[in-house]
Every structure is written in structure tokens, then in C-alpha cells.
Structure 1
Amino acid sequence: MKLVVQMPALNEEASIGSVLASIPRQIPGVDEVVLLVVDDGSTDRTAELARAAGAVVVSHAQNRGVGAAFRTGLAKATELDADIIVTMDADGQFNPGDIPKLIAPVLNGEADFVSASRFLDPALVPEMPPAKRWGNDFMARWVSSITHKRFYDVSCGFRAYSKNAYLRLNLLGNFTYTHEVFLTLAFADVPIREVPVVVRGVREHGKSRVASNLFHYGWRTASIILKTYRDYRPLKFFSKIAGGLAGIGMLLLLFLLSVKIRTGGFFPHKWAGFAGAAFLGAGGGVFLVGIVAEMLDRIRTSADEALFRIRRVEADVRRLLGSGPRPPAGSGSPAP
């Protein structure tokens, strides 16, 4: 059983050495632990110190964002034939000693995707600015409402993925990946578990490159969530827009009707009739777009499943050509 501990890093020379040194090398149920650092365009000694600590380092020539770094790490971890991938930050906010606790549900076949939760246990909620706490809670409730599954923390980067989970990921966002992963795996009905852990609420060194500006972070994150929801639930997405437009149209026409009842004519509010008809027409057009998008989504779903099966076959072939077979982690079944 091979565990790859993957972390993105951008100018983390102050902490990356100690974080890598703290990662346990002996974990029950794991035969091999590989450290993988994605250097996302650092201008300091991050890559050098990571290599000195024994990590495999993949470097971006320039900063491309946490989402892009995550995808690069996934590609490398797949090449390394990881049975389980653990992702964590290089800034020391997470305790590497919690890795055995995090991967336990995967090893036991209880889940394919496990996320550390800062808010599941009220006794473990870290200290953080009120705005950041509210933002995390809002995002968790939003993702929960979209997926119809209750999650308490969808923004934490400390996670474990079985092979059946990470091979299903086909992500597009460069800015971040945390919410897109939750939505993608929840919509694919992958078994998900949250595990409460103690997390430092404020970085010891420097500031977050992702959430340093809460307004910018919220805007970019909301954009990713909406795009993912549009791609995986297009009819619901476009129906809500169509309903809003049609509702405005109906209100305008009812207003015009009330004018007719009160005055016996439409003057001077004929505009309401034209505007109402336009909104109703726009709503109908958007609904038709949703129907077409739903048909295309069936094709996308089939393509995603085909891609997953191809990746499983590639992984099995890589394993057969490598060091020999190992039992796969996770509760899902490998593709035939």
C-alpha cells in the first residue's frame, strides 16, 4: 500500500522542512510513504529544502495557482502509482501526526474521500477572524444545499483520496480546487467522510496566498462553485434562472392587468406588457438551454466514466509492469 503525501508550496522555505520532517514514515496498513511537493513558482529555497528532506519535487516555471498545483500533483502521484493520496499545506497549519487518523476510513473501506474538518467538532474550532469563519460556514452550507448532503468544512485542504476517488477527478479551476473536488465527488456518489482535527487558524509564517483577500477569494470561489453546479446539474441551474426571469415577466404583466382594471386602459404603462413578454420569452429560452445542456450532461457523464475506466486500466498496467500487484485502497470497485 503506497501513500503519497502531496503538498503545493509557494515560497514556504520557513516551514516546509519542518513539515516534511514531521510526516510519519511508519503508518499501520501502509507499506511505503512518498513525499511529493509541487513548487508553484517559488522564488526562495522551497524546492531545494524539499529535495533535501527527501521529497519528490515538481516545479512550475511560474506561479499558476493552487488548483493548477493540485492537478500537477495528481498527475505525478498517479505516475507514482499511489494507492492513497493525502493533500496538505506546506505552511504548518495541519498536524502531520493526524495522517493515520485521516486515512483510516480509506484503509477500512468506509470512504473513498476523507476531508479533515475544522468545524465538525465544536470543541476543535480554531481561532480565526469572524469574517473568515462566516465565509467557511457559508461555503459549507452552500455546497451542502447543492449536493443535498451535509458537510461542515468544504474549504480545508487536508484530505485523503483513494485511487477510486482521485482517478475520477477532472478539474478545471486554477485558483483553488477544494470546493470543485467536493462537488465532483459528491455528484459521482463517492463515499465521503469528514474527520474532526485540530488545525491552526492563523498561519505561523506569512499569509495565505489564496484567502489573503476575502472578497477576491469569495468571488473566485463562488465562480468555481457555480460553474461546477452548471456542468453537473445543468437543468436545475438553468431552470432557476428561467424561473427568475419568468417570475419578473409575470409580475410585470400582473401590474399591467391591474392598471387595466383600475383605469380601463393600458396607458401609460404599455411598456410593462412588452417588458413582461420579453422576460417570459427570455425565461422560456433559458429553460430550453437547460434542456439541451441536460442532454449534453449525459454525454459528459458517460465520458467521465470512460475516462475513469481508462485511468484504472492504465494504473493496473503500470502496476503490472512495476513492482507487482498491491490491493487497491477504498471502498469502490475497480473497473472491469
Structure 2
Amino acid sequence: MKLFVQIPCLNEEETLPLVLKSIPREIPGVDEVRVLVIDDGSTDRTAEVARSYGAEVLRHPRTMGLARSFRDGVDYALAHGADIVVNTDGDNQYPQERIADLVWPVIAGQADVVIGDRQTGTIAHFSPFKKAMQRFGSRVVNFAAGTDLPDAASGFRAYSRAALLRLNVVTQFSYCMETIIQAGNKRLAITSLQIVTNAKTRESRLFTSPWQHMYLSGRAIVRSYLMYRPNVILGWIGVPMLVAGLVPFVRFLVLWFAGDGDGHVQSLVFGTAMLVGALLTFALLVIVDLLRTNRILLEESLERIKAVQYGAARRDTAPAGGAGRPSTAPPELAREAEELAASETAVAS
């Protein structure tokens, strides 16, 4: 069992040593712990500090954002045979000594994703407004994902290999909300672990103000929700427009049969506009549903491609003598990957 602890960093020269020193290198149920620092275009000595503590470094020549750093770190970890990937921050916000507790549900097969619950209501440097927004944001994410997580914005997380093969990060701002919504709609097992955060070391570099964070997070949530449940949003738009269009027609017919049909053309015009809008909404719903079906097929194909790609990398990085653990990918994907690899070998020979 191989565990990668990945740390996205942007100018974390001062706090990174605190993180790296507190990461446990021996965890029950884990054969190997490797630390990966994703240097997202830092202008200080973040990369040098990481290497001095024995961490592997993946560096971006310019800042590309947290979501891209997470995605590149996951790609690197899977390509090097990771069974579990833990994500933490370089500002020493999270208690790294709890990594063993964080990964245990994954090792035991009880969860695909484990999220550290910061218990935001108890964090002293969070203002009442920020605490309220954290609770509200978590409720919105839980509604979109069909989950019950107390701290959806926490970046202290553990992912199984099988979960990472199924998740695809497409947003540019942050992976936190998107991966929960994807995991929930893909019926992955998600649980949380209560943690106590460390003392604050600096202000967040992910956003400049709470309002910007709310806007960017809300946009990411809406986009992710539309990917999986477009029928809900379009249904809530189309049905009221249909009702609003039928009511004026019914009213006109009642007045017309009562002999008072003159002078009510405005009702017909309004009703016609609403019915046309409802028709367009339902037509769009059909198109979106077809696109949703196509997206599901593409995601399944991508999952199989990942299983083949990272399965080959896993065989290349396995110790001699077959000491490597079997892949955590679903059995049908593993069999398909083996069959595809065998066919490629036969063609090459």
C-alpha cells in the first residue's frame, strides 16, 4: 500500500518546514509514504525547502491555481503507483499527525473519500459571518451532492485510488466543492473526520476577500451541479413558465364563454410568450439530457483509459518479485486493462 501526501504550495518557504516535519512517515497499513510538493510558480525558496526535507517536487513555471495543482499532483501520484492520496495545505493549517486517522477508513475499505472536519464553529479567528457562510456553503454542497458533510470546504482529504480514477477536476478555482459533488453523484462512499486546526499563520492566498470566495465557490458549485442534475434547474424554470402561460389562456376561455372575450388580447400575448419560453426550456432540457448521457459515456471511457494508463505505470513501479499490492481500481476495469494490455502485446509481437 503506497500513500502520497501532496501539498500544493505558493510561496510557502516559511511554513512548509512545519508541515513537512509533522507528516508521519510510518502509518499502520501503509508500506510506503511519499511526500509530493506541487510548487505553483513560487517566487521564493519553496522548492529548495521541500527538497531539503526529502520531498518530491512538481513545479509549475507560473501560477496555475489550486485546482490545476491538485490535478497535476494526483496525476503524478497515480503514475507512480499511489493507492491513497492525501491532500493538505502548505500553510500548516491542518494537523498532519492525524493523517493516519484520515486514511484509515480508506485502508479499511469503509470509504472512498475522507474529509477532515475543521469544526469551523470553534475556530477562533473565523468571524461570525465567515462561520455562517461556511455552514451555508456546506449545506448547498450537500444538497448538490446528496451528502451530509459538516465542512465541505476543507482541503484536508484522503482519496482512494479507485475514487481518483473516477473523479475529473475541470474548474480552475478550487477542486474542493467540485470533487464532493462529483463523488456524491457517482455514489462514492464519503465520510468525515473531526480535526482541530493549527494556529493561523497567514491570510489565504486563494482569494482576496470573502465576497470573491463566495462568488467563485458559488460559480463552481452551480457549474458542477448543472453537470449532473440539469433537469432539476431547467424543470424549476420550465414548469412555472408553463403554468404562467396556461393561466391566461384559461382565464381568456372562461371570459370568452361568459361572453366577455373582447379586450383581453393582452392575456393571450402574455400566455403565448410564457408557453414559448416553456417550450424552449423543455427543448433545452432534452438537449442537455442527451449531453449528460454523452458526458457519462465519456467519463466511463476516461476512467478505463486511466485504469490502463496508471495500471501500466503501477506495474512499472512495483517492487521486484511481485511485492506490489493489487490495484484498487474496480475489478472489471482491472480485467479490461489486463485484456487491453495483452492485446497490445500480441499486436506488437
Question: Which whole-Å deviations, capped at 9, do the CAs of 1:76-107 have from their partners, x for residues lacking one?
Answer: 11222111000011101101001000000001
* Alignment equivalent of 1:204, drawn from 168, 177, 201: 201
Equivalent-residue separation in structure 2 for 1:142 and 1:75 (angstroms)? 29
Partner of 2:63: 63
Between stretches 104-113 and 213-222, larger displacement belongs to 213-222
Question: Is the CA contact (8 Å cut-off) linking 1:7 and 1:90 kept in structure 2?
Answer: yes
Q: Which has the higher contact order (CA 8 A, sep 6+)?
A: 1
Question: Which whole-Å deviations, capped at 9, do the CAs of 1:310-331 have from their partners, x for residues lacking one?
Answer: 2122222222223245335769
Partner of 1:291: 286
Over the residues paired in the alignment, what is the CA RMSD in angstroms?
2.6
Partner of 1:311: 306
Higher Rg: 2
The answer to whether 1:32 aligns with 2:35 is: no
Structure 2: runs of 5+ lacking an equivalent: 336-349
Equivalent-residue separation in structure 2 for 1:263 and 1:63 (angstroms)? 72
Identity of aligned residues (%): 33
Partner of 2:72: 72
Q: Give the deviation of 1:143 after TM superposition.
A: 1.8
Equivalent-residue separation in structure 2 for 1:193 and 1:275 (angstroms)? 50
Question: Which whole-Å deviations, capped at 9, do the CAs of 1:97-150 have from their partners, x for residues lacking one?
Answer: 010000000010101111111239x7xx32311222112111211122223332
Partner of 2:343: none
Between stretches 250-259 and 158-167, larger displacement belongs to 250-259
Equivalent-residue separation in structure 1 for 2:94 and 2:33 (angstroms)? 18
- Between the two proteins, the alignment pairs up a number of residues equal to 330
Equivalent-residue separation in structure 2 for 1:257 and 1:213 (angstroms)? 55
Q: Give the deviation of 1:74 after TM superposition.
A: 1.2
Question: Which whole-Å deviations, capped at 9, do the CAs of 1:165-188 have from their partners, x for residues lacking one?
Answer: 111121111111100000111111
Structure 1: runs of 5+ lacking an equivalent: none
1:28-177 matches, cutoff 5 A: 28-119=28-119, 125-127=122-124, 128-177=126-175
Between stretches 108-117 and 212-221, larger displacement belongs to 212-221
1:216-295 matches, cutoff 5 A: 216-249=212-245, 264=260, 267=263, 270-295=265-290
Partner of 2:210: 214
Partner of 2:341: none
Between stretches 316-325 and 191-200, larger displacement belongs to 316-325
- SS of the aligned residue for 1:219 comes to helix
Letter aligned with residue 234 of structure 1 = P
TM-score, length basis structure 2? 0.86
- SS of the aligned residue for 1:115 comes to strand
TM-score, length basis structure 1? 0.89
